[in-house]
């Protein structure tokens, strides 16, 4: 039974133009251009038969210069090696326009888009990818509208807008961004990206849970002792101080990626596989998430920042010594939380989450730990370790199920063993990058892997209450952990206090 069963074929995308706002920036180079190229190179049956990609940015550049910088970016960051014929085919569809910040920039964009569409015989189906700083988004959508570049929802040809995180910096600003977006676009035209949702292993969470009878029956308070979600990074803040310092780990990772993972792990079976059913089931998890209300932050949250240390054998600076960080910064680079989901399935089951920069390694995993084996038979002499399902989001994608087995020999000795699936050895070929999946879905108009306005608002509501306490309570500690370690002792104490421990990284 090795042949895959096709449940839903990837939807072919209709002919369209993708306009990348901020096309000379980092995201465009590292992710968007390589993803669009890879889609063309390996997704012939789903990639639009006819397409154009138009870069739009401030910096003046000739078309040749833009194509050359795109080629460089693609050869550096594409997961597939550049194949000359395929690249040529892609490059002829690449256009560029500067003047994003100029008064007539958007009317020139309109003219160039119309020209491109006429030249390639393309209908005016348009995707606007806003790879620009969040504070520039409101003005950009305003100007798109004024220039007559937004078709009404339900019109013969579509206009879609893609917005990157962060969506806001707090609850009020997130509400405001959604309000502005809704002033110009219908929700059905808006695609809010959380790239974690495009990762293969994250998509597999739904299959693992709902295509296997065995897990779903065990998934809940009757059998599960607790759940852990860890997103550890070995990288520091790097060159992103300007963005990261006002944000910190709670805003940067928890409000989006981690709450998405939590929702996928904890959601009820959706009534269908359509976008509405899945988004609704996920939103219900946030509705049931117990707020960390006034006075709870001390017991249920730990925040910390890295001090100098050694990561992967190299000495690294502390956060306060990083380039562009003020010595008075109070920003956290690590967060651990203890969460409760107040519904029938999860009543009484704690969810422990932690994320941090400059931890020992890059490792994201979800661990579902089952209840202890009753103290009878094999378990009488010593408490045996409970079963655990560990889902490795990255790297070494896969999952393992820990069970107990008899060690061969004349004695009766029992030890935990792993039933292990590694994507690398089980499936041939590398997985598509998250941005390939997500860009294709935008072109095909599928919202399943995108974040709804309601999810953004609920997640900020939850995070805002923690931010308020951290800000208003002078006694709330900001711990330190040496770079290269798993975080501060306080994070261990939080979980040890419940008689549990973090999984080893």
**Catalytic residues, which ones?**
257
Which two structure tokens, joined as six digits, stand for 70?
């795109």
Percentage helix, strand, coil, to 5, in the chain?
40, 20, 40
Cα dihedral 369, 372, 378, 381 sign = positive
395 upstream amide cis, omega within 30 of 0: yes
Residue 138 phi, psi (nearest 5): -55, -45
Position closest to ligand BG6 via CB: 252
Do residues 352 and 220 make contact, with C-beta atoms less than 8 angstroms apart?
no
Q: Which of 117, 225, 245, 252 is in the footprint of ligand BG6 by CB under 6 A? A: 252
According to DSSP, the residues that pair with 370 across neighbouring strands are 224
- Pick the closer one to ligand BG6 by CB: 38 or 159: 38
Binding map of ligand BG6 across residues 25-44, x = CB under 6 A, - = no contact: --------------------
According to DSSP, the residues that pair with 364 across neighbouring strands are 231, 394
Supply the minimum distance, in Å, between the C-beta of residue 393 and ligand BG6: 8
SS3 46: coil
CA–CA distance, 283 with 278 (Å, rounded to integer) = 9
Supply the minimum distance, in Å, between the C-beta of residue 23 and ligand BG6: 20
Supply the minimum distance, in Å, between the C-beta of residue 290 and ligand BG6: 25
Residue 32 phi, psi (nearest 5): -70, -50
Supply the minimum distance, in Å, between the C-beta of residue 195 and ligand BG6: 6
> What are the DSSP calls for 391-410, one per residue?
EEEESS-EEEEEEEEEESSS
CA–CA distance, 8 with 448 (Å, rounded to integer) = 13
- Pick the closer one to ligand BG6 by CB: 225 or 332: 332
Site for ligand BG6 in 190-249 (CB under 6 A): 195, 233
CA–CA distance, 360 with 310 (Å, rounded to integer) = 8
CB atoms within 10 A of CB 81: 8
Residue whose entry in the numeric block shows the structure tokens 């606007």:
128
- Pick the closer one to ligand BG6 by CB: 52 or 253: 253
Q: Which of 433, 362, 419 is nearest to 387 (CA)?
A: 419
Q: Which of 64, 72, 9 is nearest to 37 (CA)?
A: 72
Supply the minimum distance, in Å, between the C-beta of residue 165 and ligand BG6: 6
- Pick the closer one to ligand BG6 by CB: 252 or 446: 252
CA–CA distance, 504 with 483 (Å, rounded to integer) = 17
Site for ligand BG6 in 127-166 (CB under 6 A): 165
Supply the minimum distance, in Å, between the C-beta of residue 244 and ligand BG6: 7
- Pick the closer one to ligand BG6 by CB: 233 or 402: 233
Supply the minimum distance, in Å, between the C-beta of residue 340 and ligand BG6: 26
- Pick the closer one to ligand BG6 by CB: 252 or 436: 252
- Pick the closer one to ligand BG6 by CB: 48 or 487: 487
- Pick the closer one to ligand BG6 by CB: 117 or 433: 433
- Please count the residues of this chain forming the interface with ligand BG6, following the rule CB under 6 A: 4
Q: ∠ CA 195-198-204 to the nearest 5 degrees?
A: 135
CA 409 to the chain's CA centroid: 46
> Residue 151 burial (CB < 10 Å; 0-12/13-18/19+)?
middle
Q: Which of 319, 181, 328, 336 is nearest to 253 (CA)?
A: 336
Where along the sequence are the contacts to ligand BG6 (CB under 6 A)? 165, 195, 233, 252
């Amino acid at each position: 039974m090795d042949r895959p069963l096709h449940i839903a074929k990837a939807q072919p995308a209709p002919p369209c133009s993708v306009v990348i706002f901020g096309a000379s920036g980092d995201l465009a180079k590292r992710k968007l251009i390589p993803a669009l190229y890879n889609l063309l190179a390996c997704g012939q049956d789903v990639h639009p038969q006819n397409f154009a990609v138009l870069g739009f940015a401030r910096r003046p550049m000739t078309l040749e210069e833009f194509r050359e910088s795109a080629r460089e970016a693609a050869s550096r960051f594409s997961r597939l090696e550049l194949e000359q014929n395929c690249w040529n085919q892609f490059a002829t569809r690449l256009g560029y326009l500067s003047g994003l910040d100029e008064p007539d920039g958007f009317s020139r964009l309109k003219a160039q888009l119309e020209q491109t569409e006429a030249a390639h015989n393309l209908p005016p189906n348009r995707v606007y990818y806003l790879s620009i700083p969040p504070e520039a988004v409101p003005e950009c959508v305003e100007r798109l509208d004024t220039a007559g570049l937004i078709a009404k929802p339900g019109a013969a040809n579509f206009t879609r807008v893609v917005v990157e995180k962060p969506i806001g910096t707090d609850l009020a600003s997130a509400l405001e961004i959604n309000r502005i977006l809704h002033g110009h676009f219908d929700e059905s035209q808006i695609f809010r990206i959380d790239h974690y949702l495009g990762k293969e292993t994250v998509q597999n969470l739904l299959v693992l849970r709902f295509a296997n009878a065995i897990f779903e029956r065990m998934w809940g308070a009757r059998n599960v002792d607790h759940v852990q979600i860890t997103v550890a990074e070995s990288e520091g803040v790097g060159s992103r101080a300007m963005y990261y310092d006002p944000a910190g780990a709670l805003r940067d990772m928890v409000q989006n990626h981690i709450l998405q993972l939590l929702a996928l792990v904890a959601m009820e079976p959706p009534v269908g596989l359509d976008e509405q059913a899945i988004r609704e089931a996920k939103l219900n998890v946030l509705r049931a998430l117990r707020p960390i209300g006034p006075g709870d932050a001390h017991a249920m949250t730990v925040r910390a920042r890295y001090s100098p240390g050694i990561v992967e054998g190299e000495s690294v600076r502390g956060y306060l010594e990083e380039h562009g960080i003020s010595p008075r910064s109070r920003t956290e680079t690590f967060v651990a939380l203890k969460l409760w989901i107040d519904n029938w399935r999860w009543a009484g089951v704690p969810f422990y989450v932690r994320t941090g920069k400059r931890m020992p390694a890059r490792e994201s995993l979800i661990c579902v730990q089952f209840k202890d084996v009753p103290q009878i038979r094999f378990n009488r002499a010593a408490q045996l370790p409970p079963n655990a399902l560990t889902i490795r989001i990255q790297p070494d994608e896969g999952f393992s199920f820990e069970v107990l087995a008899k060690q061969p020999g004349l004695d009766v000795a029992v030890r935990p063993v792993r039933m292990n699936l590694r994507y690398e050895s089980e499936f041939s070929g590398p997985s598509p990058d998250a941005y390939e999946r997500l860009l294709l879905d935008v072109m095909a108009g599928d919202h399943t892997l995108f974040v709804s306005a309601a999810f953004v608002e609920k997640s900020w509501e939850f995070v805002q209450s923690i931010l308020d306490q951290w800000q208003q309570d002078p006694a709330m500690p900001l711990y330190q952990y040496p770079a290269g370690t798993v975080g501060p002792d306080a994070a261990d104490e939080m979980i040890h206090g419940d008689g549990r421990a973090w999984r080893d990284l």
